[in-house]
Every structure is written in C-alpha cells, then in structure tokens.
Amino acid sequence: MKPILELKESVRIQVHQLESECERICEKILNDYSQKFSKLGVTLNIELVRTRKQYEVNQDQLFSKDYHSFIEIGIEKKHEYFTNTVVSIWKCKEEWFNLVGYITESSKQNIEQNIKEVIHEMILDLKESN
C-alpha cells in the first residue's frame, strides 16, 4: 500500500475511479465463475466492501478516519459464510493527528489476475474436499 499524505480532490477522484473499476471487475468475475461454484455446492461471493470501524459505509466517506475499501472473496456453504481472501484497495488512517491515505499499488489488471488466481485455488480446494 502506497501512503498518500495530502488528501486532495484529485486523490478522491482517483480512489472513486479505482473503487468503481474494482466493482466492475468483481461483477465480471462473479458472472464468469458463479456457475462453477454452484456445481460444487457453494455460492461464490466477490464484492467491493467499504467499511468504517466495521460498519458498511458509502464512498463519500473515503477521507474519514478508519475508512477501508477492499475486495472480499468468499463462499457460502449451507447458510454459513466463509471469507477466503481480502484485497485492500484504500485505507484512511489517523497518524500523528493527521489523516493519511493508503492506496493499493496493484494495477487493475493485477487485481483482476490476483482474484482469478484465488478463485482457481478455491476451486481446486473444493474439488479435493468433495
């Protein structure tokens, strides 16, 4: 994660765009792989989550202390949810009485590739356990 010390409007726009692109990536991958997981008896979940102190919030709070956006990858099996991986996208923390942002250094292509790699590992694990 790359630190950003000056939280300007240009950073807000950059994070908005990155989060929106991550939402698009999540939807695309979910559409591509949900049937494979369904055949294995589980439901795949891939989504961009925005939290602040463990509560879901909207994108407008991205410069708020303790804001964290991340991609969560998990499965639901027999009404139980299991998180497999969390990929951080943006965090905003208070350090020495100043807000500091941290943004992923991964490109959109790398994020998408990493998600697919995690999914392939999950499929292999599920096939082995069945």
For residues 64-102, one letter each, b for 16 or more C-beta atoms within 10 angstroms of the residue's C-beta and e for the rest, the string is: eeebbbbbbbbbeeeeeeeebbebebbbbeeeeeebbbb
pTM of the entire predicted model:
0.92
pLDDT digits (tens), the chain, 130 positions:
999 999 999 999 999 999 999 999 999 999 999 999 999 999 999 999 999 998 999 999 999 999 999 999 999 998 999 999 999 999 999 998 899 999 999 999 999 999 999 999 999 999 888 6
Segments making up each domain of the chain, as ranges:
2-129
* 95, two tokens: 């350090």
Would you tell me the crossing angle of helices 9-39 and 108-129 to the nearest 10 degrees? 20
How far does Cα 81 stand from its chain's mean position? 16
